[in-house]
Structure 1
Amino acid sequence: MSRTRHTRGSRLATVGMSAAATTLLAGALSPGAAAADGPGRDTVLGNAATVIADQAARLGLTSDQSTKVRDVIVDADGAQHVRYDRTYRQLPVLGGDFVVHLTAAGDFSGAERATTRPLSLTNVEPSVSAPKAADLATAALRLANVGETLRGLVAKPQLVVDALHGKPKLAWRTEATGKDSLGNPMARVVLTDAVTGKQIDAWDSIETAAGDGRSLYSGTVPLQTTKSGSTYQLTDPTRGNTYTGDTRNKTDSCILILCYKRAAAPVLTDADNHWGTGATSSRASAAVDAQYGTDTTWDYYKKTHGRTGIAGDGKGSYNRVHYGSAYNNAFWDDGCFCMTYGDGDGTTFGPLVSLDVSGHEMSHGVTSKTAALTYSGEPGGLNEATSDIFGTLVEFYAANPSDPGDWRIGEKVVKSGFGRSALRYMDQPSKDGNSADCWTSSVGNLDVHYSSGVANHFAYLLAEGSGPKTIGGVAHNGTTCDGAKVTGIGRAKLGAIWYRALTVYMTSSTKYAGARTATLSAAKDLYGAGSAEYAAVGAAWSAVSVK
C-alpha cells in the first residue's frame, strides 16, 4: 500500500531569540479536539508563543531558526499540545519538529523533540550542486528498480538541514520520479550530503501495500450523493464533498510536488442513484467500494477520535479509481489530497479498493498531518504500522457482514497467484515470510512494510491478548517473543492510545523505544499511571522485545 508526502500549509511563527520575542500567526486547531468550554485557537497559539520564547534554550531554538505550526490539540481538561516544524536560516530541518505541552492555564508542562542535538552549521552553501544531486537521485531510483525500463525521469532537489541522521548537516532532499514500462509511477526520495555527495538515506515515496451501491467486497452499502439536474454525482456533501472519479486507466505525468498533470478523474454520475452491480464488469462497482471506504474512514475518525476529515479541517478528499494498466497498487497522495486505486492484474490482486486498504491509505494522510513519521528505518515501520492499525480498526468499526473485522491486511484483494491469504498478519507478522515479530537492533534495516510487524504485533496483543482465538471467522494466534501471557484491553482502547500517541507525542524521528514511551504517556493521560491499561501497554511492548 502506498502514500506520498506533503508539507502542511500552516502559517509561520518566527522566533527571534536575540530580541527575546516571538511572533506567532494563526495555525490550525483540530476540530473536535477541544473541549466545548476550552481555550480557543487564538488563546492556545498565544500561550504557545509565550512558552516557546521562554523555553527557547530547552527547545534548542536560536535566532537562526523559525518555526511553523503544524497541528494543535486541546484536551477535554483544557491541556494544550502544539506541534511545530522548524527551519534553519530559511532551510527546512528534517527532524526539526517538536511538540510543546501546556497546562490548562497555558503554562509549559513538557515537550518532545525529534532531535535534541544543537542545530548550528558553519555555512549553508552546498559544495554539491543541485544538478549533481538530481543525477545522484535518478541513479538511485534506477538502482532501486533494476530490471525495469524507466522513462520520463524527473528529479527536483531541495536544500535542507538533515537532523535525522546524527549531527545536523546540509543535505539535498531530492524527489526522483518516473514511470515503468506500463506507465505506472515510480518515485524515490534520496537524501544526499550536500558537502560530500554521499547518500545519507533513501526511501520509496510511494509506499506499497496493496445512494446505495453494490460493491465488489462489502455488499450493498448506503451512499450519500449529490443530485445535479437529472443525474446523481458520486459526491458526498455530508463528508466534506468527498467524491470518486474514474481515470479511465490513465496515469499521471508525474507525482508529488513534481506533478504538473495528474490523470483526470471526472466524478462518476448515475441516472437512478443505484450504483454498480457488484461485478468488475461495471466500472461503478469499484467506485462504490472506494466511496464507501472513504465514508467509513471519515466516520471512524470523527466518531471515535473527534477528527473531522483526514487533515482535521472538515474538508473531504477524493478517490481516483481504475488507475493505470493492471496496476497492483493503491496510494494516498498528499499532493492532490486523494486516494488512487489500481485494478490489479487479476492474478495477484483484484481491484485494490477493499475497506482496510482504504483505511490504511487514508491513515497515511493522518500521519503526515500529525507526527509525519519519516518513511525510512524504524520511523518508517511505525508509519506503516499506524496505517495497518487504523485500517484494521476501520474494518472493525464498519461491522460489515460481507467483510468482517479481522487482523489480516488486504485479504479481500489478494488472488490465488499471490501465494497467501493476505498481505500481512498482525497476530503473527512473520507468517508473511518477511515481517518481524520481535524487535532487534537490525529491524530498522528491513523494508518498512516488514519492520512494521513489530508494532502490528504489539497492537494485536494489546487489543486481543496472547493465545489462540477466532475473530471475524478467522483463526488468530497471538504469540509473544518472551513466552509471556498478555491480556488484551480491547480494540477501542488500543485505538485511543495509539491515536493520542501519534497526535500528541510521536515526532518524525520516533523509533520503537520512543513509541513505547509515547504510548505509555498516552495511556497515562487516558487511564492513569496505575491503571490496568498502562500496565498492559508495557506488557505488550515487552512481549515484542521493545523494553
Structure 2
Amino acid sequence: MATRPGATQKESVLRSISHRRTPHAFPGGGRRRATATGALVAVAAMLAVGAQAGAASADTHTPAAKKPITLAGKLDTGSLPAKLTPSARAELIRGANATKADTAKRLNLGAKEKLTVKDVVKDRDGTTHTRYERTYAGLPVLGGDLVVQTAKSGKTEKVTRATTAKLGNVSTTAAVKPAAAEKKALALAKDAGSAKTTADKAPRKVIWMADGKPTLAYETVVGGLQDDGTPNQLHVITDAATGKKIFQWQGIETSTGTGNTEYSGTVSLSTSTSGSSYTLNDTTRGGHKTYNLNHGTSGTGSLFTDPDDTWGDGTPNNAQTAAADAHYGAAETWDYYKDTFGRTGIRGDGAAAYSRVHYGNSYVNAFWDDSCFCMTYGDGQNNQDPLTALDVAGHEMSHGVTAATAGLNYSGESGGLNEATSDIMGTGVEWYANNASDKGDYLIGEKIDINGNGTPLRYMDQPSKDGGSADYWSSGVGNEDVHYSSGVANHFFYLLSEGSGAKTINGVNYNSPTSDGLPVTGIGRDKALQIWYKALTEQFTSTTNYASARTGTLAAASALYGASSPEYKGVENAWAGVNVGSRDGGGGNPPPSGNGTFENSNNINIPDGYGSASSSVSVTGISGAAPSNLQVSVDIKHSYRGDLVVDLVAPNGAYARLKNSSPYDSAANVSGTWTVDASSVAAAGTWKLRVQDVYTGDTGYIDDFKLTFP
C-alpha cells in the first residue's frame, strides 16, 4: 500500500483492513448540479428570493410505491429480501437478461447502449431490484451502472443511476495509442513501488463516465508488489484523445473444522475427508476451502490437511491455528448473510470464495481479491499476530458483497462508504457469532493488536480515537484516506444502533458524541443492519456519496418500517448526528434558541399536465416573523424539469417563485437550496412547497421539502 505524503509506517498500518477490486470497478463520480433563478412574486405580501445551486441526488424517475404505514417498531416483512435458492436467483437473472433490451428502451438509452445484468434482489412482496452495468458500442461504461426497482405487477417504480448524465454520441476512435496509456500507467505504478515493466493486460478501451462527462479512455492495470509487499493492482484511466490521466486507483486496498483458534477459542469447523485424511473444505457452504501459502505471495497454495481433524493449538507457532481462525470466520460470515439477509454466498449464487493464510513474511495486512474471489491474510509483525480475527474475516468477505452489489468506488466519499460497509458488516458477523472468546463490540480489529499496545484498529462510537478517522462529515472528508473517511458512516451506524452518550456494552465503555450536541436515540443493531444492507443492495451505486447514502438509507427505512416510524426518524437523526442532513422534521427538535429545521420527506406525486402538488411542513416553537434568510431546500424527481413551476407558499398565502417553467430546460430533477426573505410573514404555521406541471408527457414527484430557520 502506498503511504500518503508525510504518513509514518504506523499510520499506513492503521489503514489495514481492506480489499481488492475488479478491473471494472472504479473510483470517482460526478454529480450534475441543478440550477434555478429566483423571481419575486407578490400575493398579499412579497417574499424576496435568492437561488443557490444544489447538488442533484441519484436519478429516480418515478416514485417508489408507498408501503402501508406500519405500527411503530414493526417490521414490514414484505420489504425484506426473499430467501432465494441459487436456481431461483438464476431464473431471475435469466428473466432480466431476456428483457434487458426492452429495459434499455424504457430508460431511453441510446441505440449504441446496452445493459448487462449484474444482480437481482427480490423482496418478499414481489418487488425486484435489478442491477445493471452498461456498454456503449461494445465498450464498458465505467460509471454507467444503475438499479431498476420493479413492482410485482411489472411496473417500473424507481431508477437509481450512478450518474444522470446522458451518453449521447461519443467517438470510439482513439487519437492516442495504447502503448502511451501503458507507459503512463507503468510510471505511476513505479511510484507505488511496483517493479513491473509491462501491464498485466493490454490497455482496454472504455467510456469513462464517473465524473458525469462521457469520455473515450483507456484503462490500464499494472500488477507487481507495492512498497510494503502488498500485491499491486493499479488502475489508470487515461484520456484516449489527449493521453492525460483522468483518474487512478489502487485495486488492492490493504487492510489489515473443529479448531483451536487464536482468537475465537475452540470452535467447530466443517471439514471433508480425503482418503484417510481431513481437509479444510466446507461442502456445506458452497465448498469454501482454506489454503496455506506458506509465506508465498502468489498462487492458491496447498489445501490444509490433517490426520485427526483437530486443527491448530491456539498459538501462531502452529500453521493450522491461523487456518482454523480463517475457516471459522468464513463459515460465520456465510451463515450471517444467509440467516440475516437471505443471501447465500458473497454473490448470492451459492458459490463459495476461498481463504489463503500465511501470506508473505511479517505481512501486517489482509485483503479481499475479486480476481481470485478469495480472502488473504498476513501473519502480522514478526509472524506472531495473524490477521485472521472474526471481524477481519467478516470485513474482507463483505468487500466481496459490496463488489457484487453496489460496487462502491474505492475513492472519495464512496470509498469511505465501501470501507465502512465492511466494518459495519464485520461487526454484524461478530455479534451474530456470539462467541464467548470474542464477544460482540463496536471495535474493529481489537483482537489482532495491530498497534502493539492492545488498542483496536478503529472505534465506531467515536472514530477519531484512532488518531485519524473522521467523526463527522465535512466538505473535505472525501480527500482523506478511505479508512479515515469511513469514520463518518461507522459513527452513523453506532448512533443508529445504540444512540449517543455514555454506556457500557459487553464490558466495553463507549461515549458517542454528536456534531450538533443533541442526543440520538438508537433503534437497535439488528434494525440498523437491515437498513444498511437494503440500502447497499438496492439503493447505492458506484458513485454514492454521504448525502446519497442518507437518501438511500431513508428509502430503505421507509420500505422496511414506514416513513412515519421511529426507525425512519432514527436514521434522520443519526445522520444529523454526524453532520449529514437535518434532524427529524415536521416539528422536530428545534434548538433552544428557537431556530430549527422542518422537513417533509414523503413522496408526493405530481400530476402530469396542468396539475399541481403540495408538500407541507408545520412550523412550531418559533415566534414572531420569519427570517430574511429563510433556507428552502427542494428535491424533486422529474424526467423533464422544464415542465415545472415551483413556489414556496407562506402560512398567510404569500408565495415566492423559486423556479419558472421553460421549454429549453430539458434536464431532469430539481434539487437545490434557495434563500428567501420571509420577514414580512409570521414564522409559525403551515408552509407549502407548491409544484405545478404545465406540460404533458413527463412525470415525477416531490421527494423532499425542508425549511431551515437560521
TM-score scaled by structure 1?
0.88
Where does 1:160-309 land on structure 2 (aligned, <5 Å)?
160-180=206-226, 184-252=230-298, 262=299, 264-309=300-345
CA gap of 1:153–1:474, structure 2 versus 1, over 3 A, is farther
Amino acid at match of 2:377: Y
State the match for 1:341 in structure 2: 377
1:341 and 1:309 map into 2 onto residues whose CA distance is: 20
1:520 and 1:122 map into 2 onto residues whose CA distance is: 36
- Whose helix fraction is larger, Structure 1's or Structure 2's? 1
CA gap of 1:52–1:506, structure 2 versus 1, over 3 A, is farther
1:153 and 1:385 map into 2 onto residues whose CA distance is: 35
Amino acid at match of 1:3: H
Q: Does 1:105 align with 2:153?
A: yes
Counterpart among 445, 450, 469 of residue 435 in structure 1: 469
Amino acid at match of 1:290: A
1:302-341 CA-to-partner distances (Å, cap 9, x unmatched) read 0000001111111111111111111111111111111111
State the match for 1:21 in structure 2: none
1:182 and 1:43 map into 2 onto residues whose CA distance is: 44
CA gap of 1:153–1:33, structure 2 versus 1, over 3 A, is farther
SS in 1 for 2:218: strand
1:401-435 CA-to-partner distances (Å, cap 9, x unmatched) read 11111111111112454x67121111111111211
> Shift of residue 104 of structure 1?
0.9
Q: Does 1:414 align with 2:414?
A: no
**Contact 2:521/2:570 (CA < 8 Å) preserved in 1?**
yes
> Shift of residue 197 of structure 1?
2.3
Gaps of 5+ in 2: 1-16, 25-79, 582-710
SS in 2 for 1:518: helix
**Contact 1:60/1:118 (CA < 8 Å) preserved in 2?**
no
Q: Does 1:401 align with 2:436?
A: yes
CA gap of 1:490–1:52, structure 2 versus 1, over 3 A, is farther
Counterpart among 85, 88, 105 of residue 56 in structure 1: 105
SS in 1 for 2:116: strand
**Contact 1:202/1:376 (CA < 8 Å) preserved in 2?**
no
1:40 and 1:239 map into 2 onto residues whose CA distance is: 17
Q: Does 1:120 align with 2:168?
A: yes
State the match for 1:33 in structure 2: 82
Q: Does 1:92 align with 2:140?
A: yes
2:90 and 2:119 map into 1 onto residues whose CA distance is: 11
State the match for 1:375 in structure 2: 410
State the match for 2:124 in structure 1: 76
State the match for 2:394 in structure 1: 359
1:200-223 CA-to-partner distances (Å, cap 9, x unmatched) read 222221112213110011100111
- Deviates further, 451-460 or 163-172: 163-172
State the match for 2:660 in structure 1: none
CA gap of 1:251–1:317, structure 2 versus 1, over 3 A, is same
> Shift of residue 437 of structure 1?
1.1
Q: Does 1:384 align with 2:430?
A: no
- Deviates further, 382-391 or 209-218: 209-218
1:312 and 1:125 map into 2 onto residues whose CA distance is: 38
1:156-177 CA-to-partner distances (Å, cap 9, x unmatched) read 3222111111311112222222
CA gap of 1:139–1:35, structure 2 versus 1, over 3 A, is closer
CA gap of 1:381–1:316, structure 2 versus 1, over 3 A, is same
State the match for 2:497 in structure 1: 463
**Contact 2:325/2:388 (CA < 8 Å) preserved in 1?**
yes
- Deviates further, 523-532 or 422-431: 422-431
CA gap of 1:515–1:92, structure 2 versus 1, over 3 A, is same
State the match for 2:64 in structure 1: none
RMSD: 2.3
State the match for 1:151 in structure 2: 195
> Shift of residue 196 of structure 1?
2.0
1:376-405 CA-to-partner distances (Å, cap 9, x unmatched) read 111111111100100111011111111111
TM-score scaled by structure 2?
0.68
CA gap of 1:135–1:44, structure 2 versus 1, over 3 A, is closer
**Contact 1:51/1:108 (CA < 8 Å) preserved in 2?**
no
Amino acid at match of 1:234: L
State the match for 1:15 in structure 2: none
Gaps of 5+ in 1: 9-30, 253-261
1:379 and 1:180 map into 2 onto residues whose CA distance is: 23
Counterpart among 353, 373, 389 of residue 317 in structure 1: 353
> Shift of residue 54 of structure 1?
6.2
> Shift of residue 472 of structure 1?
2.9
> Shift of residue 55 of structure 1?
6.7
> Shift of residue 498 of structure 1?
0.6
CA gap of 1:517–1:32, structure 2 versus 1, over 3 A, is closer
**Contact 1:182/1:325 (CA < 8 Å) preserved in 2?**
no
1:169-204 CA-to-partner distances (Å, cap 9, x unmatched) read 112222222225775422322222222222222222
Corresponding pairs, count: 507
**Contact 1:99/1:111 (CA < 8 Å) preserved in 2?**
yes
**Contact 1:437/1:457 (CA < 8 Å) preserved in 2?**
yes
Rg larger in structure: 2
1:361 and 1:449 map into 2 onto residues whose CA distance is: 14
